[in-house]
Amino acid sequence: EADIYQTPRYLVIGTGKKITLECSQTMGHDKMYWYQQDPGMELHLIHYSYGVNSTEKGDLSSESTVSRIRTEHFPLTLESARPSHTSQYLCASSERRTGINEKLFFGSGTQLSVL
């Protein structure tokens, strides 16, 4: 069982609100990722980090921002939520170890609904 936690599990919020999705891992992993997943669709990388004070945008254009002040914590923030942000958000982490056996551990996800 992976030690990576996301809160909240479910969030229903009105348009225009600012929200922060929390992600924490206790495995000491340097690398952390945020993915967005719609029903029946593939995961899309929206942000990633290779360590403290490192953040990069992923493949999918996103209006969200992330921060990495501590190794274990990688929160994602939406300054002004819109209905188009309705989706499942998955956080993942992996060890710094390079190579083919680098394994991704996923959190349980946050299901966001913006009304």
Number of residues lying near other proteins (CB under 8 A): 27
Asked if 11 interacts with other proteins (CB under 8 A), we say: no
Is the Cβ–Cβ distance between 79 and 71 less than 8 Å? no
Among 66, 90, 112, 114, binds other proteins (CB under 8 A): 90
Is the Cβ–Cβ distance between 23 and 5 less than 8 Å? yes
Asked if 86 interacts with other proteins (CB under 8 A), we say: no
Asked if 61 interacts with other proteins (CB under 8 A), we say: no
Sign of torsion over alpha carbons 21, 84, 41, 45:
negative
Q: Could you tell me which residues come within 8 angstroms of residue 74 by beta carbon, excluding any fewer than 6 positions away?
A: 23, 24, 25, 32, 34, 49, 66, 67, 68, 91, 93
Residue 29 host element (H or E)? none
Q: How far apart are CB 20 and other proteins at their closest, in Å?
A: 19
Determine the interface stretch with other proteins among 1-9, 12-20, 61-69, 70-78 (rule: CB under 8 A): 1-9
Closest to other proteins by CB, 17 or 109: 109
Where along the sequence are the contacts to other proteins (CB under 8 A)?
A: 2, 4, 9, 31, 40-45, 50, 90-92, 94, 98, 100-109, 111
